[in-house]
Amino acid sequence: MVDRFSMSLGLRLRAARRQRGWSLGELESYTGGEFKASVVGAYERGERALSVQRLVRLAEVYAVSAAELLPMTTADRGLLIDVDMAAEAKDGDLIDRYLAAIHFLRREGRPDEVRDSDKAVIASLLDASVNTAAGPD
């Protein structure tokens, strides 16, 4: 059984890899086999534990801070994504497609609900200069 933290961490790892435009095989090649595609895939699915040392090394490979790869803390759970503003960002089409996929694939619960793991992926898609947090109107 995959716990919530591992799942969220895996989503962030996958988003960071995809942001570089790499497949799992390309990551393995780029690192000279340091990170095997099957192992990173297991990290991304939350099926395999990731040591702090490996997390830091993956962050270096992805050219991000290790903190950026960690899931949101409970203090961050109040974070709201202003989807309208995000859609106006340079990656707005990508975010629109991601949200459409959420709506299509999610059959339980409210179809318009955006979960914490969804927010983590959306936040990783946005440029750091874009203000993605918004309070209630």
Domain CATH code at residue 57 = 1.10.260.40
Residues 15 and 44 placed together within one structural domain of the fold:
yes
**72: nearest Cα among 134, 12, 136:** 12
**Residues of the chain scoring pLDDT < 70:** 1, 72-117, 119-137
Residues 79 and 47 placed together within one structural domain of the fold:
no
Determine the pLDDT at residue 71: 81
Determine the pLDDT at residue 68: 85
Residues in the chain: 137
Q: From residue 27, give the alpha-carbon distance in Å to each of 32, 43, 125, 129.
A: 9, 13, 19, 27
Residues 119 and 62 placed together within one structural domain of the fold:
no
Q: From residue 47, give the alpha-carbon distance in Å to each of 11, 25, 38, 44.
A: 12, 18, 11, 8
Domain range enclosing 10: 4-69
- What is the pTM assigned to this prediction? 0.55
Residues 88 and 65 placed together within one structural domain of the fold:
no
> Is residue 133 in some structural domain?
no
What is the tally of structural domains in the chain?
2
